[in-house]
Structure formats: structure tokens, C-alpha cells
Structure 1
């Protein structure tokens, strides 16, 4: 045992810090010395550290200082306790290569916006100005009066002044889509959509026993003549459209096409669910379809896609009061309401201007990332220059599923076209999301790796023999 103690004392001597009077808190000096010794190999995984009392005596500090130093070293994952056997240098954590996620459509973190401070200030103002009892209670009317007024303010760029009573506050766009399907269609009804569209629509329709039929689209979106023909043939309950920076194709339907679609909806007396999460990210988008067919369209605008995913608040414009009540009844069947605290935070940010500031930051960062993607992907880039995603049509030697699997082996996640297919046919393409990787440098690296992968052929990936 004396030999083992001698070895341990020698190990201690190798990293034992000389505590400086002006060197900051002594427990941090000890933890920093431990970290440096592990980094340079003076202390190795499995080395036992001296008991805290002995180290305190050697350093001429009190026991509390050493205890705090060991706790800090554990927080840094440098040490591990093994019960009565003592404290040991921890084995290094295996740092697996993080997946570069280009598959999830989330707003990019805006440069120069202190999100932590924004969140703290917003919540502080909410708690200061709102009765806590209201924040912890049921709001069954589709949001508080203040929340609906904030929604009207948020939708002003699209519609001008709105009557806040026509708005419903929902816990996200997916809940709003589901409620619209339940309220306005019956089991077995047909929903018309573009051939490639938001997967959440397909999921909701399948759960509720509705059938999606794809209507032909071109470079401007759904073709009006084909929509009219489909309406006459299938008598749909709803038409679903995402006309601005469409997910996944990134197409923005021009104003002339929107007016034509609105005209079809009026003639055929069919309701449109206009899911428009990216309108406020787009550069000079046309007015919504709901502006041309106000009695036919249900308009959905979510904050999750243009501010932050955690802000699960969507504003739904429903002009018909009877339809609004049916919608609310359907919503209560599965979601009841938006969380009042989250809705109050959204309201606070909209009314004090924070939401507009955050939106401007997201919009600027998204456009910068699109420029990056355009440069790296060269002739393959087909984005709109704004929004959150790029629709990348593939060379003939790749299928979307092949490329997605190959990218996965390279540590990159992308979404193949079949995830968005509303029918049996699917284009040979992938969607690349530009916001989900927080660090711009890592996004750049991921895009470069993807570009290199696209330039190779699948046959260059030989199967392993084991």
C-alpha cells in the first residue's frame, strides 16, 4: 500500500497547482489544473485522485474548496466517483460525429439576436402585466382577446386591418390543419392537394379517414383548369394549398395564378385551407389566396416556422362565425387550446416589436444561407433565395432514396421526395433545410459534403464484405 500511495502522491505532484492570490477562486484554479493535467496526459483515465482532506492539506486550503473543485471537475466530465473506492479520472466521452441535419425545416438562429435575453425579457413582461391565474387557466374561446388582437397585428402585412374576433389562436399549424379537416369534411371525403405537399396533411387525413387526391401542378403551383376538373369529378371537402415558398418545392404561386385558383374555388363552392407559414419570410410575396376568396379560404399562419419552433402558436382566420364555432369544437376534441403562457409570450413579442426584430434576423440569416447554398450547389440550386429550404432535383444516376441513404452514411440527413408525395408518383428530388444546423460553418461543411456526394455515382459505393 505504501508503494501505491507513493505513486498516487507522485501523480498529484505532477498536476498540483500553485494557487495564485490573484488567480481567481481557488476551487476554479484546482479544477483548471485538473483539466490541464488530463489534457496533457499527466493524469490518465483511471488514475485515482487523493482523498479530499489530503489534497486540502497539501494545498493548504479548506476542505470546502477542494469539494467544490472536485464538483466542478465532475461537471466538466473530468472525474467520476466510485463510491468508497474514491474519485478517479474519467474515461473520455466518445464523441460520435454529430449528424448534419438538413432534414428539418426550422428557422435559423439570427445573428446578433440574444435569444436568451429576448426570452427572459418577454416572460418577465408577461408575468408583470398578466394575472397569473389567467395564465394557468383554460382559454376555450380560441385565445384571449389580447392574443387575438396580436394575431390581427401579425396578419396586417397580408390583409391590412382585421377584426380580431375572426381569429382563432391554435397550438401550431398542424393542429389547425387537423381541426379544419374534422370541422369541414366527413369520413371518406376527398381532399385535393398538389402532387408534392406538406406531410402533415397526409398524416392528418389518414388518421381521420379522408382521401387525398393530387391535382397537377406546374412551375407556378396547382393548375386551375385541373383543379376545376378535379372538383367536378371528386366533389372534394377541401383543397389544401401552401402557396408561398411551398413545402417542399419552394415555389411561390404568382398573383395571377392565385386569382385563378380563387375563381375556381368560388365557382365550385369548395373551401381552401391556405397553410401559409413562410409568407413573412418571402421577398415581396403576392397577397394570400384568402384575400381573393375571403369567403372560401381558411388562412393559417404559424409563428413556429418564422420565429422559433418552441413558439407553438398559429393564427387562423375564419370569417364565418358558424364555421369558426365548428372549427373550435373540432380543435377541442384533441388540442383544447394553445398553452396560455406560450400564447401570452407570442402576444408580448408581437405587441412590443420583438417579434418583428426576430423575424428580420431570421429572414436575413435565411437569405445569407441561401446565397451559400447557391454558391456551393452551383447549377443544382433551385431555391427561391429566401425561406427555409431548397428543393434539389437529382441527376438521373441518383434516386432520392439512394441519395438519402448515402448521405446518411456520410453523416448528413436530408428528406427524399417520397416523404412529400400525395399520390403514387414522386419526382426525383430531395429537400434540403437550411435552418436546422445552428452553426453556419457546419452548414457550409454539410453542403460541401452533399455537393461532393452528388457529383459521384452510386456505384462508387462498394458493398462491404465481412
Structure 2
């Protein structure tokens, strides 16, 4: 039985709804979490009926219900597929009624009145600008010079010496990653990455026909020797890394590993995509790979982790200005441009210190929620860092990750299973828990108590199925 059918079987067993509705719900959950990508082929009705131990007509009704909801398409002679218009990776959304959403890795929202007023003032300032048409026109692709310079000022905290000529403004970090994958690789090429990594790149690679080569990693980052061996045997077109507070494992790449990986990349001339949206959160900064191998590294960051996911503004620092025109052309084709009102707001908030103030507030709120996790999750085995707003929870036997996540969802808590993040090898028995999902600390504590209760009990005791 595949990972997908195992999840669906567990979801159906633990649901009080008719089996065909529970199947459609399971498909919806996998599509929303990114575990099913756009255009992914689904099992045939007959094979799925056998795997789930359901009759053919029940599975057919489940697929029909999923098609009615706009989740899948079925074509005679071709089978059933996830709809092309759906996102291939997780997107921020309002949680289903009754569900405390700890699936999306969004920052906690500080409630400091002075800080909230700064945000309101920033939005109000857009309305007060003299020429609204200036925010409704096409802008220079890659950003206006003043906005690129503002991005360089923000990036300079982590990438010393960067200037506006080497910075492009993007519609979020994901837009930058899409453009970089398209720039550096072609269909059939490979890009190396952590074996357990940010799921957004899995969707990008699938859409572009790029192979991902997963590298073993631990709490200090990827294994440099494994990277070197891969380069010698099957040279990748690029190396993608999420080196600081890795999503999902929270690993922070050590200085020694960063230096070793930079040296290997230089030896084999492998470009590095440094996806570092969490770099602003730790008080103790790590040296960016862009500082160690500036001639090879594309450093990507954005505001979704230090302001909020709705602030879809990102920046990419280029190895040299000569890449600007090529990358701008790709972004013009794929995403056109970043929204001008948000770009203007981002520049204003960089210059007046609002981004910095928000980052510090999110850091402190994350620390507070991590302290709650230490108090509540006394029996849990998990990995995290003091300033991270997520944790990587090992699922204890006899639970499986699928049963554990399904059980939590039945009790109103959404988490993400490791399959979503796994590029190569067997998916570990683990789930990612986002501490930023609950609205406040009391909600965070309550949700973690539900998780701790599940850890203390065996699946047979907790099962709702008689």
C-alpha cells in the first residue's frame, strides 16, 4: 500500500462520514497540504478499491464527489488527475471550521498595540500618496531602482556588500525560486537539496520536469561528503539549501558545513540557491553562503516569515549584475511583477524600521511559544530551536505518522506528515507542528496539550472506530 492510500485508509477509518465522502475529504486534505501535486495521476478506481478494501461503486462515488468539488478531473481512457488549476504546494488559507491550523508555517502574530498601529499607519500611508495611478501601472520588471536599493539594505544584514544592482524584487520568495529553477535547469536535469526539505520546491520541480537529488542531513545541515560524491558521479545543475531553521527540521547549518559545501560548490562550479527566509529570526547570526561563495550564490529571502504570509514581497541577491536581465525576463513570463502597492509598502517599512520591529516581536513571541512547548510536551521527542515557530515531532511507536496526524485532525488539530517534505529515502515517522497557527499563547498551549495527550496514549486506546 502506498503512502497516499495508507493516509486515505486511515482517514476513512477515523471518519464518521460515509466512506465516499471521507475519501473525497482525504483527497482534499492531501491537495491542500501539497502531498498531491497539480496534474498528478490518481490510482484507478479498481486498484484503489482493492487497496482500501472498499467496493468499486464507493470509490467511484468518492472520485465523483471530489470532481464535484473541483478537486480532480477524470477523462475516459486517461484516468483521474488532480486539477491543473490547483496549487502544487501548500498555500496559506483559513482553516476548516473547528480545526486549529498548525499545518501552515506562518509566524505568530504579535499583539503589541504600538506595533499594530505602525502597521495600520503603513497601510493608511498608501491611501495618502498623491498619485494612486502610480501603483496601478506596470512597473520596471525586477523592481524600481529605489525598491531594489531598499531590498539591498535589508539583505545587507545577512549578505555583506550587496547593492541594488544585484538585487531583484520578486512577488514573494516562491516566485524567485520558480524563476531560479527555470534559469539554472532544464527538464530532465537535477538539482541537489536536503533529503527532507521545504515542500514548495517539490512542486516547482514537478512542474518544470526537474529531478531533485536528496542529500542526507542532520542538525548541522547536509553532509558535505555526500554532496561531493554526488558532484563527482552525477553533477547537479544547482544546489538548493534552506540552511537556517530548516523547514521542516529546524536544523541550522553549522559554520564548518557551510564552508565545506561552499568549497565543494566552487570546485565543481555548482550554483547555490540559498533560500533563507528565517535567517532574520535567530539572535546569533550564521554566515550566509552568499558571503562564502558570492560568485555562485543566489540568496533568496522575503517577508512571509518576518511580517506575514500575505506580504508577498521577496528579494533575490544575484552573484553578479549580469544575471539581472535573464532572471527578470523569466519572472516577467512567469509572474509579471510584484504588486506595486506592496512593494511601496515594503520599501517604506524597511526604511522606517517597521520590518525590523516586527522581526524582533515575532522572535520574542516565538520564544514564548517554544517555552510553552517545553512545559507541555514533556514526553515528546522533537527538534526545534528557541527562535523557530515550528517544531519537528518524532511520532512514537506504535503510532504511525499517518494515524497520528489523522487522529489529531479528528480532534481538531492539523499537522503535516513527513511525506510532504521527503525527497528521497523512506519518509521518517515525524510530523511538523507550526506554533504560529493558534491565535494566542493560550490557544498554543491548548493545542499542544492535545498533542501531548495523543503521545501518552496508544492508537488502540485513542481510536474512534469500534
Does the alignment reach a TM-score above 0.5? yes
How far apart are the structure 2 equivalents of 1:463 and 1:116?
43
What is the alpha-carbon distance in structure 2 between the residues aligned to residue 409 and residue 395 of structure 1? 18
Secondary structure in 2 matching 1:277: coil
List per-residue Cα deviations over 1:135-172 (Å, max 9, x = no partner).
11112331112211211111121123421111000011
Assess if the C-alpha contact under 8 Å between 1:111 and 1:365 holds in 2: no
- The answer for the alignment partner of 1:296 in structure 2 is 296
Distance (whole Å) between structure 1 residues aligned to residue 431 and residue 232 of structure 2: 33
Inter-CA distance 390–113: structure 2 relative to 1 (3 Å threshold): farther
Task: Give unpaired runs (5+ residues) of structure 1.
Answer: 1-95
1:221 corresponds to? 221
Whole-angstrom distance in 1 between the partners of 2:452 and 2:97: 19
**Matching of residue 311 in structure 1 with residue 285 in structure 2:** no
Label 1:384 to 1:139 Cα distance change in 2 as closer, same or farther (>3 A).
same
Q: Single out whichever of 154-163 and 176-185 deviates more from structure 2.
A: 154-163
Aligned residue number for residue 432 of structure 1: 433
* Mapping 1:216-365, distance limit 5 Å: 216-365=216-365
2: distance between equivalents of 1:395 and 1:99? 23
CA–CA separation in structure 2 for the residues paired with 1:166 and 1:322: 8
Corresponding residue for residue 444 of structure 2: 443
How far apart in 2 are the matches of 1:338 and 1:407? 37
Q: Does 1:156 align with 2:159?
A: no
Residue aligned with 1:158, SS: coil
RMSD: 1.7
* Preserved contact between residue 304 and residue 311 of structure 2 (Cα < 8 Å): yes
Q: Distance in 2 between matches of 1:449 and 1:427?
A: 22
- Alignment partner, residue 12 of structure 1: none
Measure, in 2, the Cα distance between the counterparts of 1:464 and 1:396.
Answer: 19
Partner residue of 2:465?
Answer: 464
Distance 1:311 1:130, change over 3 A: farther
- 1:202 matched to 2:226? The reply is no
Q: Distance in 2 between matches of 1:145 and 1:293?
A: 25
Q: Which residue of 1 aligns with 2:454?
A: 453
**Cα distance in 1, alignment partners of residues 397 and 229 from structure 2:** 33
- 1:407 aligned partner: 408
Q: Deviations over 1:320-378 (max 9, x none)?
A: 23322221111111101100101111111110111111111111101100111121112
CA distance in 1, matches of 2:456, 2:384: 19
Equivalence for 2:67? none
The residue that corresponds to 2:397 in the other structure is 396
Cα deviation, residue 127, structure 1? 4.5
The CA distance in 2 between the partners of 1:428 and 1:464, in whole Å, is 23
Greater displacement, 393-402 / 366-375: 393-402
Asked whether the equivalents of residues 126 and 348 of structure 1 are also in contact (C-alpha less than 8 Å), the reply is no
For residues 181-215 of structure 1, what are the alpha-carbon distances to aligned partners after superposition, in whole Å with 9 as ceiling and x for unaligned?
11111111001111100110000000000011111
TM-score by length of 1: 0.77
* Alignment partner, residue 387 of structure 2: 386
1:357 to 1:463, Cα distance in 2 relative to 1, 3 A: closer
TM-score (norm 2): 0.77
Q: Closer, same or farther in 2 for the Cα pair 1:396/1:130, shift >3 Å?
A: farther
Q: Which residue of structure 2 aligns with residue 80 of structure 1?
A: none
The 1-side partners of 2:323 and 2:397 are apart by 47
Deviations 1:12-55 (Å, cap 9, x if unpaired)?
xxxxxxxxxxxxxxxxxxxxxxxxxxxxxxxxxxxxxxxxxxxx
Q: Secondary structure at the match of 1:134?
A: helix
Q: Say whether the 8 Å CA contact 1:110–1:361 is kept in structure 2.
A: yes
The answer on whether the counterparts of 2:193 and 2:214 sit within 8 Å (CA) in structure 1 is yes
Q: Show CA shifts across 1:402-440 (max 9, x none).
A: 110010111110011111001242111111101121122
1:99-143 CA distance string (max 9 Å, x none): 111111111011314565333311333444564332111123311
Q: How many residues align?
A: 370
Match of 1:93 in 2: none
Task: Provide the C-alpha distance between the structure 2 equivalents of 1:111 and 1:120, rounded to a whole number of angstroms.
Answer: 13
1:400 deviation in Å?
Answer: 1.1
Cα distance in 2 between the residues matched to 1:238 and 1:408: 37
* Shift in alpha-carbon separation, 1:327–1:377, aligned structure 2, 3 A: same
Any idea what SS the aligned residue of 2:148 has? helix
**Contact 2:141–2:336 under 8 Å retained in 1:** no
Q: Does structure 1 conserve the Cα–Cα contact (< 8 Å) formed by 2:150 and 2:351? A: yes
